[in-house]
Amino acid sequence: MSLRKCAFVLYAPNRFCGVKSSNLSKLVAEFHSSLKTLLHNEAARLSLFEPGWMLETANDIASKEIHSLKEFVRDQRLEILGGGFHDPMLPLFPVSLQQLQLKKYCTLVEKIFLTEPAGYFNASMVWELGDVDVLAGEGFNYTLVSSAALGDALGKTTRVNGWFTTEYRGSVLHLMAATNDLSTAFATDTESFFTLLNSFPESEKGWVIPLAVPWWDQEQMSLFFEKLNSVFANEEIQTWTCSHLLEQQISEGKVHLMSAVGQDLGLPPGALSCRELLLRRPEIDFLHKSLLAVYRRAFDSLSDDKLTIVENQILSAMSPFYYSDLYGTCGMRLFAVRRSAFYEIIEAEKTVFNLSDFKSQSIEVTDYLMDGKRQIWMNNQDVSLLLANYQGGTLRSLNHRPTGVNWVNALYDDGEKPLGFYDFVLPGSCSEMNTLESVLQDRRGELNAPYDYQIQRTNQSIDVLLSAEQVTNTAEINDIFRIEKKFSLSSSKSQLKVSYRLSHLTLLDFSGFFGTAVDLGMEDTENTQTFSIDGKLYSFKDFPLLLPEVSKLEVKTRFSGAGITFQFKTPARVLISKILGSHHSAEPNLVQGVRLFFFREMKLTPQDEGLFEITCTLSKKRWLT
Amino acid sequence: MKADLIDVFMEELGDEVVIHLRGTLGIHQLAAVREKLEMLVSGPGKFWFLDLDRARFTEKEYLELFLDILNLIRKKEATLVLLFSNQENKDFFERYFHVFEIYPSRKAYHQSGIIKQLKQAGVTYRKQTGLRLSPGITLFFLVILVGWFLTLFSMIQKQENEIKEGKALVMELEMQRNESIREIDELRSTIGPLRNLGLVLDSSESFSYGRIRDWIAYLELLEARRRGD
């Protein structure tokens, strides 16, 4: 029986790190130390990829290990693969940002290991044809793609092995098949691994096996390296680096139009592209569009040197966990990940404004969300908000720059968008808490017709006046209201005033409720935030809560020191309910935010007018109990 | 909806307001552009920069629109500056090149001359009730005024010193004159008996001392004679 040729690719998956930095450094050092020990086994040859931050940390704290690894690189027993600085980099971003990530990583590898990476690695194995010229342009010779995706492109049902050539816009790249089922078998145990390997037809061609190192858990990591050591000790296999396999084998042919959805992104099995993430999760889509908007603004308003500063800052907002529909520290379903994602965007936004001499306020009417409709992006020194006049004049974001918080950052499991100031006209029968909650959850009676807008500027504020006729169905009767909804963003303060003027246009009397809801993103961890309503303190365990007369509602968060206050010109009724999502079980018990519903009773005769005004103040305060 | 036909970007930079228009603007967008521009220029601002570098106009009606906007802005005693550098827009605005202020960028406008900058400072700080000056200009004028006052005081001081010196000289000469008169009187009294005896001819009679008015000149003359000048 001939020896099986294997090319092991060890990679450290990028994760959202909640652990303390000292612990993180310890884990990184441990990883490199284990790697060094593993390579002391003369039979071991492998390829390695680790995210940029990990390589930087290792260079700082584990210089001895790095020095040893450098020796192995020189002896061609270790190959360092290139990739995105914040791997896995999805092909959702502008080419210039992708190139910058690749350049940044390659420069780091060249600085540390004195070698230029020839192979590109992407932990999620996502692939689109457009990647060819980006990667070839950065000097990469080959990339790893999943053998299953390669098989689909070639129309083969049998296992695909070896490497293929693909070309796009005059650039050529080699695609090397990575056998993911061997990786899965290795994760089970070594026996399964060898059983599967031996079941493959005997061939001179080698197998590329990507293995994720569980670096975040010391125990699992040592088990992993023990297992790998035992595999290397087996005499049935011969290990090589990926580059060596590529050199030793001849091309299997050409492949066109190959695409791979990508793994570990939270996409369902039937998904056709990683872009489905943007359709499935509005939070990811909004983050993506916010990143593009900030980049576009920087591109339009800054000179090249200043643009580079913003580009470098924006790279971290391309981190994979911000674009994964996953729970835990892996994706956007965790509030901490969402908060961190928008913090990155707001910081980049702040840099753009600082560098572009932005002094007071701006307003931009543009297709921010890239959905074919224009939205209104308002900014003053401290606050920015996106107003979707086409979707019932609602807020898609309310960013406070001094704290780096986007308040409209809740998450609905069913894919509904979290919004700010979405309005309802409800019949008088909806006065009970349960009824109201169910109506709001189903968004019945929501006033979501498009509004026309007017921009009004004064010395004190910049105002957007929305006006439209909205039809509602209350108590089996169609009511028509002419609604004027005005957003006034103060020029000098972090204050937004939202005022409504309702004119009743139906020839019958109206008796019911008019109100508006705001979805605030929050997490229910102990003592992270307080709710103060007219001076009285409340916590999550008190919700849902319906209060008949409220003048002032204040929410403060401990993490960022951010606070938001709602004040009403005339006291309003308030319903506070938790926005729950499910995690491990089907039971929705994970708090993703709170929905505040401010409403008041209105009795309007034909042509009568009703008014409602809310002042929303954002602040950065010390934690007060 | 008219509002949703165009991309608008408006940014305030102190007294300056920058409005960016983008895209190909034809007859369908004309009403929307007019509505938005008129709406925006009705707000505060002294310098209005209309960035048209990324806008392309397909209809001549836009020229009238920009003339109307210029009139609106001039009524507010403000300035409208069009910003573009592409040839297409230069050709489009060719007829009214002398009417509009056209610059490639805001920076180019600011660097276009000291008179413009002074005008800018003037317009920026002028109000209906009078003249308001920018801090820089105020400081400049303050330094000039203080300089003027210092020069004036030094001149007055110098003249006072000169007057004092003149007065002292006059007093000294007065004293010399009195002394001389006293000495002459003494001499007269000394030679009085001899003259009465006819031994001395009184030469002073040939010269009337009483008629001498300019004693200072006379004494100076005597002194000069004494020195043999």
Distances (CA, A) of A248 to A5, A145, A175, A285, A313: 11, 19, 15, 43, 41
Asked which of A139-148, A295-304, A470-479, A538-547 is least confident by mean pLDDT, the reply is A470-479
Interchain contact, B9 vs A359, CB within 8 Å: no
- The beta-carbon neighbor of A453 closest among B3, B40, B42 is B3
| Predicted local distance difference test score (pLDDT) of residue B137 | 86
Residue A482 has pLDDT above 60, yes or no: yes
Contact criterion met (CB below 8 Å) for B80 and B113: no
Q: Residue B63 carries which side chain, given as an amino acid letter?
A: L
Is B107's Cβ below 8 Å from some Cβ in A? Answer: no
CA-CA distance, B47 to B52, in Å (whole number)?
16
Tens-digit pLDDT profile for residues A554-577: 998 877 789 999 999 999 999 999
Q: Please check whether residue A169 is in contact with residue A132, taking contact to mean a CB–CB distance below 8 angstroms.
A: yes
CA distance B149 to chain A (A): 40
Tens of pLDDT along B75-90?
988 999 999 999 999 9
Across the interface, whether the CB atoms of A459 and B12 are under 8 A apart is answered no
A372, closest residue in chain B (CA to CA): B4
Nearest by CB to A359, from B12, B39, B42: name it.
Answer: B12
B112-167, pLDDT tens digit by residue? 766 666 665 555 555 455 666 777 888 899 999 999 999 999 999 999 999 999 99
Task: Compute the mean pLDDT over every residue in chain A, rounded to the nearest whole number.
Answer: 90
Question: From CA A522, how far away is CA A363, in angstroms rounded?
Answer: 28
Contacts of A302 in chain B (CB under 8 A): none
- Express each pLDDT in B32-66 by its tens digit: 899 889 988 988 888 999 999 989 999 999 999 99
DSSP characters over B150-176: HHHHHHHHHHHHHHHHHHHHHHHHHHH
> What domains are there in chain A, each with its CATH number?
16-248 (3.20.110.20), 281-359 (no CATH), 360-620 (2.70.98.10)
- Read off the amino acid at residue B21: L
Q: With contact defined as beta carbons under 8 Å apart, do A246 and A176 qualify?
A: yes
CA angle A273, A277, A279 (to 5 degrees): 100
Task: Residue count of chain B, please give it.
Answer: 229
Which DSSP symbol is given to A605?
-
Phi then psi for residue A16, to 5 deg, are: -75, 120
pLDDT in tens, A228-265: 998 888 878 889 999 999 999 999 999 988 889 988 88
- Nearest chain B CA: its distance from A370 CA (Å): 13
Any residues with CB less than 8 A from the CB of B214 and at least 6 apart, and which?
A: none
Prediction ipTM score = 0.81
Distance CA A500, CA A601 (A): 14
Residue B104 has which token pair? 């490639």
**What is the rounded distance in angstroms from the CA atom of residue B108 to the CA atom of residue B82?**
11
DSSP A457-508: E-SSEEEEEEEEEEEEEETTEEEEEEEEEEEEEESSSSEEEEEEEEEE-SSS
Listed by number, the residues of chain A in 456-475 with a beta carbon closer than 8 Å to a beta carbon of chain B are: 456-459
Q: Give B48's contacts in chain A (Cβ within 8 Å).
A: none
CA separation for the pair A54, B109 (Å, rounded): 49
Q: Is the pLDDT of residue A529 over 80?
A: no
Distance from CA of A377 to the nearest CA of B (A): 9
Q: Which of A354, A357, A366 to mutate to test the interface with B (most CBs of B within 10 A)?
A: A366
Torsional class of A63: left (φ above 0), alpha (ψ -120 to 50), beta (otherwise): alpha
pLDDT of amino acid B126: 52
SS3 B39: helix
Q: Tell me the CA end-to-end span of chain A in Å, nearest whole number.
A: 73
- Residue A313 clears pLDDT 80, i.e. is over it: yes
- Do residues B29 and B2 touch, judged by C-beta distance below 8 A? no
Distance CA B159, CA B154 (A): 9
Contact: B8, A365; criterion CB under 8 Å? yes
- pLDDT value at A546 more than 70: yes
Which residues of B are less than 8 Å from A367 in CB distance? Answer: 7
Beta bridge partners of A349: none
- pLDDT for residue B4 is more than 60: no
What whole-number distance in Å separates Cα of residue A162 and Cα of residue A164?
A: 7
Q: How close is the nearest chain B Cα to the Cα of A462, in Å?
A: 9
d(CA A33, CA A218): 12
Q: Is A86 helix (H, G, I), strand (E, B) or coil?
A: coil
Q: Which of B7, B14, B39 sits opposite A374 (nearest CB)?
A: B7
Is residue A222 a contact partner of residue A21, using CB atoms and an 8 Å limit? Answer: no
The whole-number pLDDT of residue B217 equals 82
Tell me, what's the pLDDT at A595? 95
- Across the interface, of A452, A457, A458, the residue whose CB is closest to B1 is A452
What's the pLDDT at B131? 64
Q: How far apart are CA A579 and CA A563, in angstroms?
A: 19
Which of the two residues, B203 and A525, has the higher pLDDT score? Answer: A525
The helix/strand/coil state of A456 is strand
Q: Would you say A456 and A463 are in contact if contact means Cβ atoms under 8 Å apart? A: yes
pLDDT at A586 > cutoff 50: yes
A271-279: average pLDDT: 91
Predicted confidence (pLDDT) at residue B221 exceeds the cutoff of 50 = yes
Structure-block tokens of residue A487: 């957003």
C-alpha distance from A379 to closest chain B C-alpha (Å): 9
What pLDDT score was predicted for residue A525? 74
Inspect the interface and report whether the beta carbons of B3 and A357 lie closer than 8 Å. Answer: no
Q: Which helix (H) or strand (E) holds B226?
A: helix B215-227
Distance CA B102, CA B81 (A): 6
Using the beta-carbon criterion (under 8 Å), do A360 and B14 form an inter-chain contact? yes
Query: From residue A612, how far is each of A225, A389, A494 by CA, in Å?
Result: 65, 19, 21
**Residue A314, helix vs strand vs coil:** helix
User: For B85, what's the count of Cα atoms within 13 Å in the CB-facing half-sphere?
Assistant: 6
From chain A, the residues in CB contact with B43 under 8 A are 456-458
Q: Is A535 left (phi over 0), alpha (psi -120 to 50) or beta?
A: left
User: Minimal Cα–Cα distance from A367 to chain B, Å?
Assistant: 8
pLDDT-above-90 percentage for chain A? 66
Residue B125: predicted pLDDT = 53
Name residues 346-405 of chain A within 8 A of B (Cβ): 357-367, 373-374, 389-390
Asked if residue A140 has pLDDT above 90, the reply is yes
